[in-house]
Structure 1
Amino acid sequence: MQEVIYNYYTDHYGGRVIPENEFSYVIKKAEMYLHSFTFNQLEGQPYDNIVKNCLCDMAEAIYKVEKQGDESIKKSESTDGYSVSYVTEIADGQNPQEVLRKKLYGIAECYLMNTGFLYLGVE
């Protein structure tokens, strides 16, 4: 498995969202999800640019979700009783991990749909 490095993220993918000191963590998390989605078909193989770009896109999504609480946008605020609501992608009652997983799978589909990596069936 060829690792995606920060220089690839910034120079080739054009990423500007993830700071260098947090990149290693989120790219490894993205790889974990991608291996799950591809049934480990990419394990032990060098990544081509499509896979690397997919991982970078997934890493950005993970980073944004994990940082969402730190930099949320206010949806509404009431000053008398001081109540603040924030905009989120997750509706009340939804499992945040399942929402993230669906979002990441959608990203993987965009990049890998025609590669066969998302298919586990018999050919």
Structure 2
Amino acid sequence: MVYATYEFYQEGFGGDEIPQDSFSRLAKRSSEYINMVTFERAMAFSDDNDLLKKACCAVAEAIKINEEGGGVVAESVGRITKNYAAGVTNTPNEEERLSIAVRRYLLATGLLYLGV
């Protein structure tokens, strides 16, 4: 089950980072990640506020960033350049990036609860 469509990504989520030809693959991987971290409880979740759709889009964007090698480590604007040394940055690693994206929308739903 894929939780979001490209139409929702653009209109409901306001996304513009993922091209249409890549969205289906990324949304599928994102939905698989959501199912994993929710122990597949997401499939039966009543989503009146589109939280699963939004989480799917956010995780898809995080997966895209991970596939591209992570966040920006060097940036130049005109003659101004910023570089960050490895290990001295606050940039999240791949798993942290996915976790932050899914928690932003699903933390208050109880779907991520690990207890009994």
TM-score (norm 1): 0.69
Letter paired with 2:51? I
How many residues end up aligned between the 2 structures?
Answer: 106
Alignment of 1:112 with 2:112, yes or no, is no
Segments of structure 1 that go 5 or more residues without pairing to the other structure are: 76-85, 92-98
The question of whether the paired residues in 1 share the 8 Å contact of 2:35 and 2:43 is answered with yes
Distance 1:87 1:22, change over 3 A: farther
- Paired with 1:39 and 1:47, the residues of 2 have a C-alpha distance of 16
**Partner amino acid, structure 1, of 2:41:** Q
The RMSD of aligned alpha carbons is: 3.1
Q: Against the structure 1 CA distance between its residues 11 and 120, is the aligned structure 2 distance closer, same or farther, given a 3 Å change threshold?
A: same
Equivalent in the alignment of 1:32: 32
Runs of 4+ aligned residues of structure 1 deviating over 3 Å after TM superposition are: 44-48, 71-75
| TM-score normalised by length of structure 2 | 0.72
The change in CA–CA distance for 1:35 and 1:16 in structure 2 (over 3 A counts) is same
Q: Report percent identity of matched pairs.
A: 31
The 1:6/1:46 distance shift into structure 2, 3 A limit, reads: farther
How far apart, in 2, do the equivalents of 1:2 and 1:31 lie? 5
The structure with more radius of gyration: 1
User: Superposed, which structure 2 residues align to 1:22-61 within 5 Å?
Assistant: 22-43=22-43, 47-48=47-48, 49-61=50-62
